[in-house]
Structure formats: C-alpha cells, structure tokens
Amino acid sequence: MTILKMASTAIKSLFSRPATLMYPVRPAKRTTTTRGHIVIDPANCITCRSCQRKCPTGAICVEVKEKTWQIDRMRCVICNSCGDVCPTKCLSMDPAYPAALTARGGVYKVAVAGPKKKEPAPVAKESLKTE
C-alpha cells in the first residue's frame, strides 16, 4: 500500500518539527572541522610567503617589505592548503562562514610581525628568485 505509505510520511512531517533551521534566528549547524574562513594570527606570521605560493586561486598576497598579509575573500576557495603549509601555524580555519560580499569587497589586509630578527627569512628570498 504505497499510497498509504506516502500519506503516512506526509502526515508525519506535518506534525513533526521542521527539518530546516530558521537560519538567521537560530545559528547554522557547524562542526569543529567545518571550513568557514581563514584567520591569521598576525603576531606569529614571518612573511615567508608559503601560503601565497600554495594558494590555488592566488587569493593571498604577502608584502615582505611592508610586512602585510592580505587575502581576497572573494577569490579564496577555502581549501585550507595555506593552513597546511604555514610553518608557524599562524593561519587557522574558523568554522563560521564569511558573510556575503559584493564583488568589490572582501579584501582583508593586516599588518603582521614579520620575520624574527635572527632569521633573515630564507624562504622569502628563494621565492623572489623563482618569480
């Protein structure tokens, strides 16, 4: 009796709670592994530019001289490969999804600490040569 089966499913869902969340009122489901957006801890960044080289979409731009780290949220595909290669682990993934953006917005720039004094950033020099 499939007619009754479908009818019972329909009646059950009529009296049960909705399967969807009333999103802005109730927060979205998130797990600890959810890739939401990349966040940086500016104090630990040594401007080694590993993240810039490993980014598949070229969303990250690191200025070694100015000591800034910049990400274009519109370009970022949230793959976390920058977080994987970061030698100081200053890049991490936040489970909250970034807010909606317009095409012009989304560029986020921060001043970072830069290389430690005793290490003259060997990786940075090498990457400059290859480019």
Nearest approach, Cβ of 30 to other proteins (angstroms)?
A: 8
**Which of the stretches 8-16, 68-76, 101-109, 121-129 binds other proteins when contact is defined by CB under 8 A?**
8-16
Question: Which residues on adjacent β-strands are paired with residue 93?
Answer: 38
Which residue has tokens 């009754």?
4
**Which of the stretches 42-50, 75-83, 102-110, 115-123 binds other proteins when contact is defined by CB under 8 A?**
75-83
Radius of gyration, alpha carbons of the chain:
22
How many residues make contact with other proteins (CB under 8 A)? Answer: 23
**Which of the stretches 32-40, 66-74, 109-117, 118-126 binds other proteins when contact is defined by CB under 8 A?**
32-40
Residue pair 78/39 in contact by the 8 Å Cβ criterion: no
Candidate list 31, 99, 102, 129; residue touching other proteins; CB under 8 A: 31
Q: State the DSSP string of 38-99.
A: EEE-GGG-----HHHHH-TT--EEEETTTTEEEEETTT-----HHHHH-TT--EEEESSPPP
Interaction between residue 26 and other proteins (CB under 8 A): no
Interaction between residue 84 and other proteins (CB under 8 A): yes
Residue pair 90/40 in contact by the 8 Å Cβ criterion: yes
* Of 31 and 102, CB closest to other proteins: 31
**Rule CB under 8 A: which of 45-64 touch other proteins?**
54-56
